[in-house]
Structure 1
């Protein structure tokens, strides 16, 4: 999700099936090359061990190359592997936000089973059968892959109701899942197209689900729609601050590295 200067959201569409599969193939090739490199690097040590030691170390190298390294790369790059970088793709949460380490780890762990142990047999049905071309790891992690080279103009961002800004700033929103946030955002973007009855019923359901996960509750008398808008606006603001902090930290690290090279 990108934001223009006019506070308009640019929705990044899900990656197409062919692009998604090509990205997976590139990543698999890269990971296998890393594994071969590790085996070559530690080969003399590994083959000097007995059978039990050989199996343990070999398994450790496999997990390192096919699980730890991919998860670390996606965490540090906020959803981009070499294959995705080459094709302009990125992994995001179901609500469009940037992934965190738990998402990358879940994708890598499940990916090890579905792509390598099952030889891709578990990936293909899900990639082909889901509208966002999700593999099993994406379903478990609550993520999908977007194409950053194509942006679709969407509705303006949800704005914070002024009277709820103070409450939202101190509220605990950490339990709200991405799928619920996505449903709430979709609801607010379609308000004008809903009948009064559908608008009230859907608002009741979404507000009820959010109320069970948000603490403390909003001030008495808050309407459903303004409550939902406040939750979404605060989640977006917190994501924005976190991303800005991460980028600033990355810039500081780069500056320190450049200074160290100069010294």
Structure 2
């Protein structure tokens, strides 16, 4: 389970790696909101046409016309946004189009309470003011949060990210000589996995979180890696990763060679 850390846009993963969580930009969020507004207005206009047809045909009398209008407003502008957000797990038609999703401030999934607050306040800031309040609020908040988000404790997270290129670690030239005499065989596999995950996510972290996590991981390796060279923490972590990888490859090659030799002796006998 992810737990929040001090930096506002970071989440600490189960492997103690701070991952930068990126909110959806103001322009993309506005575009998504316009799509959602168009859907709600289209449903409302459809209801008005249906109501007119029912009145003309005499199926519905004028006595309940007002009730139907109120019901239409509630359904189109409150109920539909809530149902869509719950059914699509924080997304809507507009958010699907722009690649966003509503999440809590700690990055967790939202629930009915969040969707209800956002939809209820959205009637005021989005529909009654034609989006003016939402635009002002989004323009002056770091995560482009509208008023409903500020009250509900949510924001729109970007879920479409560029495809990551698999990291292939290469021994830093400055540590090539150190690698000839270094010993990292005693390092626990769990620590090695944390280092690998850190290197994979390093480019997506904020500089402060990146430097802090690198120093912490290097400090943890001091007990298992010797000698400890005077090198940049991130460069040392790369060197340790490459060192373990190459020695594991050599160990597997030796094991395969021994297995083939034993197999050959067995056949000869």
Q: What range is the shorter-chain TM-score in?
A: 0.5 to 0.7
How many residues end up aligned between the 2 structures?
Answer: 159
Q: Does 1:70 align with 2:81?
A: yes
Q: Does 1:38 align with 2:47?
A: yes
Distance 2:90 2:144 in 1: 16
Alignment counterpart, residue 143 of structure 2, candidates 120, 127, 132 = 132
- Correspondence list, 1:14-53, <5 A: 14-45=23-54, 48=58, 49=60, 51=62, 53=64
Q: 1:54 to 1:77 in 2, by over 3 A?
A: same
Structure 2 match to 1:247? none
Distance 2:105 2:95 in 1: 18
Shift of 1:50: 5.2
Judge conservation of contact 1:12–1:148 (CA < 8 Å) in 2.
no
Structure 2 match to 1:112? 123
Q: Deviations over 1:43-72 (max 9, x none)?
A: 433565555521221111111011101111
Q: Deviations over 1:189-216 (max 9, x none)?
A: 79x69xxxxxxxxxxxxxxxxxxxxxxx
Structure 1 match to 2:105? 94
Q: Deviations over 1:160-198 (max 9, x none)?
A: xxxxxxxxxxxxxxxxxxxxxxxxxxxxx79x69xxxxx
Shift of 1:11: 3.8
Mind listing any 5+ residue stretches in structure 2 that lack a counterpart? 3-10, 165-208, 214-269
Q: 1:46 to 1:133 in 2, by over 3 A?
A: farther
| Aligned-pair Cα RMSD in Å | 3.3
- Correspondence list, 1:1-263, <5 A: 8=17, 10-45=19-54, 48=58, 49=60, 51=62, 53-150=64-161
TM-score (norm 1): 0.53
Residue 122 of structure 1: SS of its match in structure 2? helix
Q: Deviations over 1:136-172 (max 9, x none)?
A: 1111111000111138x9xxxxxxxxxxxxxxxxxxx
Shift of 1:35: 1.6
Distance 1:55 1:10 in 2: 52
Q: 1:114 to 1:5 in 2, by over 3 A?
A: closer
Distance 1:118 1:43 in 2: 26
